[in-house]
Structure 1
Amino acid sequence: MRITKIEEKPVPISSNIRNSYIDFSKMTASIVAITTDVIKDGKPVVGYGFNSNGRYAPTGLLRERFIPRLLEARPEEIMNDKATNLDPEKIFDVLMKNEKPGGHGERTVAVGTLDMAVWDALAKIEEKPLYRVLAEQYGNGTVDDKVFVYAAGGYYHPGKGLSALQDEMKGYLDQGYTHVKMKVGGASLTEDLKRIEAVLGVLPAGDRLMVDANGRFTLDEALTFGENIKDYGLFWYEEAGNPLDYELQAELSRQYPHPTATGENLFSFQDARNLIRYGGMNPKRDYLQFDCALSYGLVEYMKILEMLQENGWSPRNCIPHGGHQLSLNIAAGLGLAGNESYPGVFKPFGGFADDYAVENGYVRLPEVPGIGFEAKADLYETLLRIGD
């Protein structure tokens, strides 16, 4: 078998919202399609991929380096030993050929985008949902029949007051979510505390709320914020400071008495390992949010999961960033704790399969070969326009 064509297209995912650091008014994402010569139901198998929100479309890197590199590879460099399917680990090696270690930069996003499409094609060739492929070939054979998901929202928005924030969160509860997340760090401490208390006013308990500072705080600010929210008993306090400031995270973990979460902006095995070595996080309490679509892909993510287990962490402490179907498949097939969800923003990439409603904080996955993009109409329609 061989890859016959790879296409890429940048698409807008712009929105009039902001977190503590950036606004999303000009945000883009890359969509890719990898076409193979394998025929199923009379058509070539095509694997689709895209990068998660928060990083711009890596169009230049894909078109100038990584797509040509993959197309130039010999069949034996990308196929499994039986020559019956793609081999993601071999493809990872092809993509990273002649790349220096360190300084990972945006190339992690480009490789992760292609990796998603590779896994989609692989599972379609197997004629199985990806979560079953992962459970059978890389996990313990057991699939979680439903996955915990939380609603990520609470962004800063022009003219959005406390009542509108409450209405947003009540809307997520009405959709079946039990846990919600909101942004902090983009306003004064006094204002953010009012916002948190407003949201807590529509929730049954403090442990139904996560807050996310998106790396905004210095150490002193992070500790001060933690001191002011500790009595709320929140589900977690996320990314208080710069994601590479492990000393800040370690000090916060020592002083803040409740769960913290971070990792969505660490894009390699080495950075993840440094967080575990030096970040002072508690494997019995805290959560890790590595997003494989931004960090070289699922091949790299499985190396991270192995490293975590060697250091006393369970996959049940992992809830990936991104709110996309790939992470949902990973959660179901490899036994993660859950997955983020974006029910109100970053359309059509956020959210899950049509006709699979969130029920009591959990969502089920369809029996669709591949990652399941075909079961989400608005996303699949976007992916089909990649050649336009």
Structure 2
Amino acid sequence: MRILDIREQTFPISSPIRNAFIDFSRMNLSLVAVVTDVVREGRPVVGYGFNSNGRYGQGSMMRERFIPRVLETEPEELIDSSGENLDPAAIWSAMMRNEKPGGHGERSVAVGTIDMAVWDAVAKIAEKPLYQLLAERYGQGTPDREVFVYAAGGYYYPGQDLKALQDEMRGYLDRGYSVVKKKIGGADLDTDRRRIDAVLDVLGPGQRLAVDANGRFDRETALRYAEALSDYDLFWYEEPGDPLDFELQAAVAEVYRGPLATGENLFSMQDSRNLIRYGGMRRDRDWLQFDCALSYGLVEYLRTLEMLRENDWSPGRCVPHGGHQMSLNIAAGLGLGGNESYPDLFQPFGGFPDGVQVQDSRIVMPELPGIGFEGKSDLFTHMAGLVA
């Protein structure tokens, strides 16, 4: 058993939208294929992965450092103790060979993307959905196939008026979502309040709105927004300030009694632990958005979950950023609180396998081997092209 090749291709996911910090007019991502010599149903097993939106493709870094290290490692060193499958932790260690501690930035995206493809291959070799494999290895044995999802949107579009924003949100509600999210911080507070009021006007009983500042605010502005947002019953107030400004996060938590959410731009267990130690996050209401595809992959994410348990945090407080099927599998297999979803944006990489429906902001995981990419036809067309 061995990895024959690891291939990367950069794909555009550009869109004329912006949040409070960046626009997506030149956004792209890396798509990776891990090709093995294991054969299932007459075909080699191939694992696939890609990085979440908001961070660019990392092809150069992968090709220069991480892919060669894996391919240069003796194959028997990358096999688990059963001798019947690949060992994701050993492959992760091979990728990180000769890397110094710290430096948790774009490197974590490159490793996390390859790691996703490795786990897809591992579950396919085991002939199981990844969520089932995770539940058996690291969870309670039985996965919870029903997963909470919310619709992320509400970006700033050129020329978008309040009616267009309302129409966008109605579209998510009509598709079965009961929790929707919109951006703030890309306009002044008065404009953002009008946008919030417009969305709340279209929500019905049991439907909730979350808002996301994408780390835009300084301390004074974050606190001013916290005061204004306290007038609403929001699902959460997300990432008010710089993701590493734990003092700012703690200051907001002191004055904003509603739920806060952050963590999507923390790229290691160590950074996540510092948030728990110093960010003033509250176990009873706040949400953690660590995204494995951006933070060294599931191998590191398992360390993060263990750190949370040691600090009396439930994995149910984790609702990862990214809107991808990898986090859906982790949520179902390891008891996370749910996952972000992009019903319309960043296609074909966002969304669910064909036929999966949302009902009351929950989906039922399909019985597909691996992560389940083969079940999303528009996405798998691109993936299959890497090994054609």
Q: Secondary structure at 1:65's aligned position in 2?
A: helix
CA contact (8 A) 1:135 1:334 kept: yes
CA distance in 2, matches of 1:226, 1:178: 23
Query: Is 1:297 matched with 2:315?
Result: no
Counterpart residue number, 1:335: 335
CA distance in 2, matches of 1:206, 1:153: 19
CA contact (8 A) 1:206 1:232 kept: no
Give aligned pairs, total.
388
Q: TM-score, normalised to structure 1's length?
A: 0.99
Written as runs of structure 1 = structure 2, the 5 A alignment for 1:12-161 is 12-161=12-161
Q: In structure 2, what residue type is equivalent to 1:178?
A: S
CA contact (8 A) 1:3 1:36 kept: yes
Q: Which runs of 5+ in 1 are unaligned?
A: none
Q: Secondary structure at 1:147's aligned position in 2?
A: strand
Q: In structure 2, what residue type is equivalent to 1:38?
A: V
CA contact (8 A) 2:290 2:320 kept: yes
The superposition leaves residues 36-61 of structure 1 with CA deviations (integer Å, 9 ceiling, x where unpaired) of 11110011100001011000000110
Q: Report the Cα offset of residue 204 of structure 1.
A: 2.2
Q: Report the Cα offset of residue 231 of structure 1.
A: 1.7
Q: Secondary structure at 1:149's aligned position in 2?
A: strand
Q: Report the Cα offset of residue 387 of structure 1.
A: 4.8
Say which is worse superposed, 319-328 or 198-207, in terms of deviation. Answer: 198-207
Query: Is 1:186 matched with 2:186?
Result: yes
CA distance in 1, matches of 2:42, 2:115: 25
Query: Is 1:386 matched with 2:368?
Result: no
Say which is worse superposed, 147-156 or 82-91, in terms of deviation. Answer: 82-91
Q: Between the two proteins, what is the percent identity of the paired residues?
A: 64
Q: 1:172 to 1:356 in 2, by over 3 A?
A: same
CA contact (8 A) 2:51 2:57 kept: yes
Counterpart residue number, 2:226: 226
CA RMSD of aligned residues (A): 1.0
Counterpart residue number, 2:281: 281
The superposition leaves residues 223-278 of structure 1 with CA deviations (integer Å, 9 ceiling, x where unpaired) of 10010111211010000000000000001011101000000000001100000010
Counterpart residue number, 2:195: 195
CA contact (8 A) 1:147 1:339 kept: yes
Q: TM-score, normalised to structure 2's length?
A: 0.99
Counterpart residue number, 1:357: 357
CA distance in 2, matches of 1:82, 1:290: 31
CA distance in 1, matches of 2:302, 2:387: 31
CA distance in 1, matches of 2:141, 2:107: 32
CA contact (8 A) 1:200 1:206 kept: no
Q: Report the Cα offset of residue 81 of structure 1.
A: 1.3
Written as runs of structure 1 = structure 2, the 5 A alignment for 1:306-317 is 306-317=306-317
Q: In structure 2, what residue type is equivalent to 1:239?
A: E
CA contact (8 A) 1:207 1:235 kept: no
Counterpart residue number, 1:250: 250
Q: In structure 2, what residue type is equivalent to 1:81?
A: S
CA contact (8 A) 2:178 2:207 kept: no
Q: 1:207 to 1:359 in 2, by over 3 A?
A: closer
CA contact (8 A) 1:35 1:47 kept: yes
Q: Report the Cα offset of residue 104 of structure 1.
A: 1.7
CA contact (8 A) 2:287 2:318 kept: yes
CA contact (8 A) 2:27 2:54 kept: yes
Q: Report the Cα offset of residue 200 of structure 1.
A: 0.4
Q: Secondary structure at 2:223's aligned position in 1?
A: helix
Q: In structure 1, what residue type is equivalent to 2:271?
A: D
Written as runs of structure 1 = structure 2, the 5 A alignment for 1:256-271 is 256-271=256-271
CA contact (8 A) 2:178 2:206 kept: no
CA contact (8 A) 1:185 1:213 kept: yes
CA distance in 2, matches of 1:24, 1:206: 32
CA contact (8 A) 1:215 1:243 kept: yes
CA distance in 1, matches of 2:314, 2:219: 28
The superposition leaves residues 313-360 of structure 1 with CA deviations (integer Å, 9 ceiling, x where unpaired) of 101100000000000000000001100000010001110111011111
Q: Which runs of 5+ in 2 are unaligned?
A: none
Q: Report the Cα offset of residue 207 of structure 1.
A: 6.6
